[in-house]
Amino acid sequence: MLSIIATLPIQDGKTDDFEKIFAGLAEQVLANEPGCTRYELCRSTVNENTYVVVENYADQAAIDHHGKTPYFLEAFGKMGPLLAGAPKIEFFQAKS
């Protein structure tokens, strides 16, 4: 299993818009990508404008597929202007 943790800083006053866009994206991902077993948005308890997306995939092919889907590309285009800075994307591999 491969995991991604994406940290996303969101502009002040834009968090509601971000959450709405993400909710639609997550619904599409979980309904249409059998190789993705977790796609969860978490909000920081320290900084309300910081979110992480926790993603679990069966393999690299599932990650590659995810990044090319029309609904991901559309949502990313809408979320981009809401960001307060560059996202930090980290990749992890399960060791069990």
Structural domain boundaries in the chain: 2-93
Confidence of residue 94 (pLDDT cuts 50, 70, 90): confident
Dist CA 2 CA 35 (whole Å): 10
Dist CA 95 CA 68 (whole Å): 27
HSE toward the beta carbon, residue 78, CA cutoff 13 A: 17
Q: Indicate the fold that domain 2-93 takes in CATH.
A: Alpha-Beta Plaits (3.30.70)
Confidence of residue 22 (pLDDT cuts 50, 70, 90): very high
pLDDT in tens, 30-47: 999 999 999 999 999 999
Q: How buried is residue 96: exposed, middle or buried, by Cβ count under 10 Å (0-12/13-18/19+)?
A: exposed
Query: Does the pLDDT value for residue 1 go beyond 80?
Result: yes
